[in-house]
Structure 1
Amino acid sequence: MPRQIPVGRPPTSRRGLLAKSLWIGVWLVFLSSPVEDLALGNHSTAATAAGSCGLAVFVGIYLALVFRNIGRPFSRGVVFGLGGVLGILAPVLAYTLGSAWLGLFVYLAVAYGATLPLRATYWAVPASALVMYLIGLRSDEQEARGLVVLVVLIGFAMTGVGQLVRTTIELRKARATVAQLAANEERLRLARDLHDLLGHSLSLITLKSELAGRMLPGDPERAARQVADIEQVSRQALVDVREAVTGYRRPRLAAELAGAQVALTAAGVVAEVPAEPDLTGVPEEAESALAWALREAVTNVVRHSGADRCAVRLLRQETLDGPVLELTVEDDGSGGSGTGPGNGLTGLTERLQKAGGTLWAGRVRRGFRLVARVPAARPADVGSGA
């Protein structure tokens, strides 16, 4: 399955730029007639020079208006201004240089359909077809009649494409907003939990500190007991905070798998991601380390690889050291431009080693592969044969 061209955003790699340029180039096929007309020398030197300049200006404005405007929209005034220039160039060139230039009206309809507001498109596209037909009557009525339907159909079809692109951009912005709101909500929840955890403990510490201060001159033994209580409460509060923060920071493999599918698809990478895994008996530390490995691998694929496909596999295997859970992330990209392991892979190796696992990452015949292994059971369970 070919990689999808990102819609409504500029390319992020050389491969993406090449794919988008080829996709744009295919649709310039209607320019073959004007170019051939100029190359055959059917006009005077002045007319050929003027036609070449006019064609260059037309193509430049068309590309800027359609393909640049789709990703980063111009203001409405600029859109109408550039559309007006195209609306002047197409009739002038077609009228003065002949029927070979009638194909410019196809691009005019595309530009109007993709960039103008719907109300303006409803009259601009038929008007373009009508002007083209009237100009074609003086040179080649049959060709003009055939192009009328094409101009109208392509123009109105592009209204749907333009609306789809604008909707995609809005959805991408909405998704980013939802992610930000979710992060804010998570921060608020963490703040509430920490308040609930520490509020009582800190109040108790403050109260006992005041009591110890009042008792200290006359009753040092009772003051010492209060200080001992303060120490116990503070230690318990520290344990509670560590548990809370650890729970927030520990990623879950199922959530990371779902996130990997979304991230790869959003980046235009064909993703093969397994369903929710069976983690029966897998220690939490091992699952967390594997989730970190998946997150790091997918981040590298999205940012650096330029890959078209990425396959994620999760397997249980039996080894001499006991059962292991193996995560493999393989893509067909370049693997980045670095000559050695980056900080992410180095930190990931250390994290896996702490969980009793291993990491291998490197180039393969058709891309880059990362393999992370963690124990699928605790050492006590392995020793007892559980």
Structure 2
Amino acid sequence: MNTTRVRTVPGPEAPVGTGTGERPGNRRQTVVKVLWTSVWLFYLGAPVTDLVAGGHSTGVRILGCLGLTAFVAWYLVLLFRTGHRASTARLLASVGVLAAQALVLSVCLGREWLVLFVYVSIASGAALPARVARWTVPGATALLVLAALSVPAGGYYLAGLVVPALLGGFAMIGVREMLRTTLELREARATVAQLAANEERLRLARDLHDLLGHSLSLITLKSELAGRMLPDHPGKAAAQVADIERVSRQALVDVREAVSGYRRPTLPGELAGARTALAAAGIVADLPVGPELPVDPDLPELPEEAESALAWALREAVTNVVRHSGARRCTVRLAARQTPAGPELELSVADDGPGAGAVVPGNGLAGLTERLAAVGGTLSAGPSAGGFTLSARIPLTPLGSGS
């Protein structure tokens, strides 16, 4: 990713596009980084001045120019190294070559060349891993001190060079760590966003399966019923068509609410829908009655999330009864039970259909299991005596406790 990188000490970084010591990714990044690096080469004015007006012979000047050119070239090669995958040993050897060049030039040409060690310290902090650079920066500074004590009047330059060498090198280490942390945070943010998107897609797929599976099954049944009634009972067929229109409109509303994330089905509403679906399929419905949940009022309250999970379970179970069971009767029960772990509410949907063999979980049962697990509930489904039974259990949250 392309991010802004700003340097505050003599260093190699381009302000945009490339990381510390990383190879530029395109021509623009290369140009910007070269320009940014060239600014800090201004501090090489002391060695250049010494070559021009330092009283050296022509041969020494030529060798000095070649040495300085080689130093700058190696410095740039180190900073523009072949990507961040270069081995630590290779980088350490490169810094060693740079330090050797600085040492030879300083000892041979004089104190004005001691500034090269500042570049060695900064290059080691910018290019080497932090665990290595924390030793090489003080090492480059110590080599600076030794070189200064070895040249005439070099001690006068120590006060102006030791502090920049230490601060510049460690500043590069800090900048590298800051950039690394920033990149890791951005990658973590991208991962979280991707996980959130995946979770939303899963929620939408689960809701659409439950919503459309139920509604389309009901529409299919009523369409078949209307087709059979049409020749002899056109009035009853018209009533079935009106029901189809109502279910279709409600399905559209449900889908829109599911997409928006606001839909929260309730048990009373799903019980009413189950009664309609079972009646349309010609199945006798034995369901709880009453506008309120048929639960003992002395028991703890049922959280909204738990009720929603049970409502989805009821819808999926009734849809399966209508579509697959071939049953003549369907019984739905809501019962509160006391377990060692605390009170729980159990929803059971049983039919007297021919039954099935081994249960093969599909999208519906998998989605229900996930919904119930999210609120601490469990799901069981399988053949029973004379039919098939699905049971969903939800723990009841005591009043006053967090749900």
TM-score, with length taken from structure 2:
0.48
User: In the alignment, which residue of structure 2 is the partner of 1:233?
Assistant: 247
Mapped contact 1:209–1:230 kept (Cα < 8 A): yes
Distance 2:118 2:175 in 1: 15
Distance 1:113 1:49 in 2: 26
Superposition map of 1:111-122 within 5 A: 111-122=123-134
User: In the alignment, which residue of structure 2 is the partner of 1:190?
Assistant: 204
The CA deviation at 1:48 is 3.9
- Give the secondary structure class of the aligned counterpart of 1:137: helix
Superposition map of 1:265-344 within 5 A: none
Report the CA distance shift for 1:168/1:142 in structure 2 as closer, same or farther (over 3 A). same
How many residues end up aligned between the 2 structures? 241
The CA deviation at 1:114 is 3.1
- Give the secondary structure class of the aligned counterpart of 2:150: coil
Mapped contact 1:5–1:16 kept (Cα < 8 A): no
Match status 1:200 vs 2:218: no
The CA deviation at 1:47 is 0.4
User: In the alignment, which residue of structure 1 is the partner of 2:50?
Assistant: 37
Percent identical residues:
53
Match status 1:54 vs 2:70: yes
User: In the alignment, which residue of structure 1 is the partner of 2:297?
Assistant: none
Report the CA distance shift for 1:85/1:107 in structure 2 as closer, same or farther (over 3 A). same
Report the CA distance shift for 1:242/1:169 in structure 2 as closer, same or farther (over 3 A). same
Report the CA distance shift for 1:19/1:53 in structure 2 as closer, same or farther (over 3 A). closer
Residues 158-204 of structure 1, C-alpha deviations (whole Å, 9 max, x = no match): 32232222212222222222222233333333334434543431232
User: In the alignment, which residue of structure 2 is the partner of 1:95?
Assistant: 107
Report the CA distance shift for 1:29/1:22 in structure 2 as closer, same or farther (over 3 A). same
Q: Which amino acid aligns with 2:43?
A: F
Report the CA distance shift for 1:24/1:102 in structure 2 as closer, same or farther (over 3 A). same
The CA deviation at 1:115 is 3.4
Distance 1:208 1:9 in 2: 70
The CA deviation at 1:120 is 1.8
Mapped contact 1:87–1:108 kept (Cα < 8 A): yes
- Give the secondary structure class of the aligned counterpart of 2:80: helix
Report the CA distance shift for 1:78/1:191 in structure 2 as closer, same or farther (over 3 A). farther
Higher relative contact order (CA 8 A, sep 6+): 1
- Provide the alpha-carbon RMSD of the alignment: 4.1
Distance 2:97 2:200 in 1: 51
Structure 1 unaligned regions, length at least 5 = 249-386
Q: Which amino acid aligns with 2:173?
A: T
Report the CA distance shift for 1:80/1:142 in structure 2 as closer, same or farther (over 3 A). closer
Q: Which amino acid aligns with 2:116?
A: L
User: In the alignment, which residue of structure 1 is the partner of 2:16?
Assistant: 11
Report the CA distance shift for 1:190/1:61 in structure 2 as closer, same or farther (over 3 A). same
Distance 1:205 1:10 in 2: 63
Report the CA distance shift for 1:229/1:79 in structure 2 as closer, same or farther (over 3 A). farther
Structure 1 stretches of at least 4 aligned residues deviating more than 6 Å after TM superposition? 14-22
Residues 220-248 of structure 1, C-alpha deviations (whole Å, 9 max, x = no match): 66455434422332233224434554789
Structure with higher Rg: it is 2
- Give the secondary structure class of the aligned counterpart of 1:28: helix
Structure 2 unaligned regions, length at least 5 = 7-12, 18-26, 263-403
Superposition map of 1:124-203 within 5 A: 124-140=136-152, 141-143=154-156, 145-146=158-159, 147-203=161-217
Mapped contact 2:99–2:120 kept (Cα < 8 A): yes
Mapped contact 1:30–1:104 kept (Cα < 8 A): no
Report the CA distance shift for 1:163/1:246 in structure 2 as closer, same or farther (over 3 A). closer
Mapped contact 2:137–2:169 kept (Cα < 8 A): yes
Q: Which amino acid aligns with 2:106?
A: A
